[in-house]
Amino acid sequence: MMIPRAKIIGTGSALPDRVLTNQDLERMVETSNDWITSRTGIKERRIAAEGEFTSTFATLAARRALEMAEVDPAELDLIICGTVTPDFPFPSTACIVQQNLGATRAAAFDISAACSGFLYGLSIADKFIRTGSAVRALVMGAEVLSRVVDWSDRNTCCLFGDGAGAVVLAAHEGESALLSTHIYSDGSHWELLHQPGPGNRNPASSQFLESGRTFIRMQGNEVFKLAVRAMEDAAHAALNANDFTVADLDLLIPHQANRRIIDAIGKRLGLDKDKVFINVDRYGNTSSASIPIALDEANRTGILKPDSLVLLDAFGGGLTWASVLMRW
């Protein structure tokens, strides 16, 4: 019996309308457009409005992906949402999206793997589909990071943005599908990138809420170095597992955290610049949403062509990192 593969049959994304530019940030903290552009490549990011939540963007991105896939929500077996900014501690944002879509048959849950969350979700959905436990799956990455960023801390507030991306996967017999997924973690470095609370360790007491420790904390420089090395390793693992070399790749869609990280990986891999997808300039770092937003843009603008060999490569808090190789 042929083992089915998971194929992406629809992509979608959704972003807030409000644009926050580097010039806007110059008026909020001691920074400059020059510093942000030269150190990160970011020029602007999107910020959710009051009344817009992680599930708002996830649902919209999912609807767009389902429409492209021509799949009815009731046909979904599985809904996975990568997020570190869920609507609530519980229930999962995936369950909220399930209700919004009317995807009555699907099992729904969130994945907490920070910026690698979408690729972790793809890896899980791939296993469900390969084993025959699911035929159609919705995988999303969705974040409203603007609500966990300290807007008075110039070290972090310039970096992040809000949004969501989604894909619909279906069982497929043939080569044009996910070829392999690799996921990795190293908890020994968790403190380099984390949000101290509120949570079990730091409950939402008035003392904690006033402590100014409710926001994302990052030792950027350390994370930068580990990210480049880990993403390079994950890229090689994906290519080696499928007997490909860098020369076979048509497109790399890396996590969009920093233009310098992306350039360093491209250089270390020896990949032509025009084979590396970049949109960090427009959206900043949207954590788990960054790869599915980029994938949707690459798909809708025709950059992804039938039979393209595409590598997705992520790194984030945990630490976590991951790669997914696919034939489009």
Q: Give the residue, chosen from 195, 285, 288, 320, that forms a contact with ligand UT7 under the rule CB under 6 A.
A: 285
Q: How far apart are the first and last CA of the chain?
A: 23
CB of 258 to ligand UT7, least distance (A): 3
Q: Is 115 in the site for ligand UT7 (CB under 6 A)?
A: yes
Rounded Cα distance, 92 and 96, in Å: 7
CB of 76 to ligand UT7, least distance (A): 29
DSSP class per residue in 302-314: T-S-TT-EEEEEE
Helices (H) and strands (E) in the chain, counts: 11, 13
Does residue 81 carry a catalytic annotation? no
Let me know: does 265 contact 272? Beta carbons within 8 Å.
no
Q: Which of 115, 157, 158, 299 is catalytic?
A: 115
Does residue 285 carry a catalytic annotation? yes
Q: Give the residue, chosen from 154, 268, 275, 300, that forms a contact with ligand UT7 under the rule CB under 6 A.
A: 154
Instruction: Please list the residues that pair with 251 across neighbouring strands.
Output: 310
Rounded Cα distance, 29 and 25, in Å: 6
Tokens of 35: 């510093």
Tokens of 243: 């007997």
Stretch that binds ligand UT7, among 13-21, 36-44, 55-63, 197-205 (CB under 6 A): 36-44
- Residues between 51 and 110 with contacts to ligand UT7, criterion CB under 6 A: none
Q: Is 35 in the site for ligand UT7 (CB under 6 A)?
A: yes
Q: Is 39 in the site for ligand UT7 (CB under 6 A)?
A: yes
Tokens of 151: 């807007």
C-alpha distances out from residue 154 to 114, 159, 196, 204, Å: 21, 9, 18, 25
CB of 228 to ligand UT7, least distance (A): 9
C-alpha distances out from residue 133 to 10, 142, 176, 181, 309, Å: 20, 25, 20, 18, 26
- Torsion angle of alpha carbons 235, 240, 246, 249, nearest 10°? -80
CB of 223 to ligand UT7, least distance (A): 4
- DSSP-derived 3-state class of residue 128: helix
Let me know: does 122 contact 293? Beta carbons within 8 Å.
no
Q: Which of 95, 158, 182, 255 is catalytic?
A: 255
Q: Is 316 in the site for ligand UT7 (CB under 6 A)?
A: yes
Q: Give the residue, chosen from 79, 171, 223, 298, that forms a contact with ligand UT7 under the rule CB under 6 A.
A: 223
Stretch that binds ligand UT7, among 55-63, 123-131, 209-217, 219-227 (CB under 6 A): 219-227
Does residue 279 carry a catalytic annotation? no
Number of residues located near ligand UT7, criterion CB under 6 A:
21
When CB distances to ligand UT7 are compared, the closest residue is 220
Q: Is 116 in the site for ligand UT7 (CB under 6 A)?
A: no
Of the two residues 98 and 258, which places its CB atom closer to ligand UT7 in the complex?
A: 258
Interface with ligand UT7 by CB under 6 A: which residues?
31, 35-36, 39-40, 115, 154-155, 158, 193, 220-221, 223-224, 227, 257-258, 261, 285, 315-316
